[in-house]
């Protein structure tokens, strides 16, 4: 009885905190349906007096968010595919016993986590341009996926390291080579980690600003949503209601993807912690 009472008391204390935490997001959604005058003079009220969809029309057509949404989907999916392919293969290789320099490679990977993107953007830009992929979404995806590989590699490495060796040996006795064992036996077992890595990197790529900004400077039509959001800031004025509508357009796909992969994400994190 005391335990139930304590739990209810904690719930009563946490509900106001949750409301404070959620309020800015709700206010943003509310502002997207308000006129500029009502948003500036309406204070903290949430319900618009005269709801309008003009802000969404302006963001979708005038601000080119229809194009930016398509660019962001292409950019984010490419980043996720690159990270999954490279990280799963690297994680499998690093999880095998007897690999020369395994500890050194893992230490170098971990060390790169502490290098800010800004310090490496120039050599990355030169390298991508050297590949002939400058001013393009594929080049931007490569630049985004490179630094994002460390945590996924460690997650796959921990997962594959916990798979019983007998399973791999049985596959090889049946004639499967190294690549076939990785692709047809080990990789299907890693679905929880795949879901976790896909979700983490999709959200990171969707919200990315710095790398897409640098790699689309010469091609404004290839901007992503994060970069396109900056277009609402003028030299003298800012379109706040248009910015709120654009933010809503940007957030909706992330919420849908998270709800779709939520269960896999939790299973992947739980498995990684156990490993």
- Could you read off the pLDDT of 67-84 as tens digits, one per residue? 999 999 999 999 999 999
pLDDT tens per residue across span 5-51: 777 788 888 888 888 888 888 988 999 999 888 888 877 778 888 88
Confidence tier at 1 by pLDDT (50, 70, 90):
low
- Judged against a pLDDT cut of 90, whether residue 88 lies above it is answered with yes
Residue-level pLDDT at 268: 64
- Percent of all residues in the chain with a pLDDT value above 70, rounded to a whole number: 95
Quote the CA–CA distance of 63 and 239 in Å, as a whole number: 11
| Torsion 210-79-141-212 (CA) sign | negative
Q: In the predicted model, what is the mean pLDDT of the chain?
A: 85
Is residue 157 included in any domain, yes or no?
Answer: yes
Residue 19 domain-assigned (yes or no): no
pTM over the 0.75 mark: yes
Mean pLDDT of 102-117: 82
CATH label of the domain that carries residue 153: 1.10.3720.10
147: containing domain: 52-272
pLDDT value of position 83: 94
Residue 56 has pLDDT above 60, yes or no: yes
pLDDT greater than 70 at residue 269: no
- 15, part of any domain: no
3-class DSSP state for residue 238? strand
Structural domain count, the chain: 1
- Please report the pLDDT score of residue 179 as a whole number: 87
User: What pLDDT, in 10s, does the model give residues 224-244?
Assistant: 998 888 888 887 788 888 999
Residue 6 within a domain: no
Answer for the pair 121, 210: CB distance below 8 angstroms, yes or no.
yes
Give a yes or no: residue 152 inside a domain.
yes
Q: Residue 105 corresponds to which tokens in the numbers above?
A: 């490679």
pLDDT surpasses 90 at 161 = no
- Asked if residue 35 is part of any domain, the answer here is no
Contact 255, 142 (CB under 8 A): no
Q: What is the pLDDT of residue 230?
A: 84
Q: Answer whether residue 274 shows pLDDT above 80.
A: no
Take residue 175 and report the two structure tokens written for it. 């004639």
Q: For residue 115, is it within any domain?
A: yes
pLDDT in tens, 167-178: 888 888 888 888
pLDDT of 100 reads 81
């Amino acid at each position: 009885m005391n335990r139930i009472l304590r739990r209810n008391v904690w719930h009563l204390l946490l509900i106001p905190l949750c409301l404070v935490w959620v309020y800015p997001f709700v206010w943003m959604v509310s502002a997207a349906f308000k006129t500029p005058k009502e948003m500036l003079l309406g204070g903290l009220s949430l319900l618009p007096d005269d709801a309008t969809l003009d802000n969404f029309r302006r963001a979708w057509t005038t601000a080119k968010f229809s194009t930016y949404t398509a660019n962001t989907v292409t950019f984010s999916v490419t980043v996720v595919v690159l990270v999954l392919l490279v990280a799963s293969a690297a994680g499998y290789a690093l999880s095998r016993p007897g690999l020369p320099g395994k500890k050194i490679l893992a230490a170098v990977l971990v060390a790169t986590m502490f290098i800010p993107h800004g310090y490496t953007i120039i050599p990355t830009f030169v390298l991508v341009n050297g590949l002939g992929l400058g001013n393009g979404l594929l080049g931007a995806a490569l630049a985004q996926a490179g630094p994002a590989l460390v945590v996924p590699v460690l997650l796959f490495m921990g997962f594959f390291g916990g798979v019983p060796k007998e399973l791999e040996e049985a596959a090889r006795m049946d004639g499967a080579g190294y690549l076939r064992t990785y692709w047809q036996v080990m990789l299907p077992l890693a679905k929880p980690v795949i879901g976790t890595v896909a979700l983490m990197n999709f959200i990171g790529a969707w919200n990315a600003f710095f790398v897409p900004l640098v790699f689309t400077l010469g091609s404004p039509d290839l901007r992503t949503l994060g970069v396109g959001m900056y277009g609402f800031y003028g030299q003298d004025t800012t379109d706040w209601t248009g910015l709120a509508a654009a933010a809503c357009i940007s957030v909706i796909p992330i919420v849908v993807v998270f709800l779709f992969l939520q269960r896999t994400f939790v299973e992947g994190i739980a498995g990684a912690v156990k490993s």
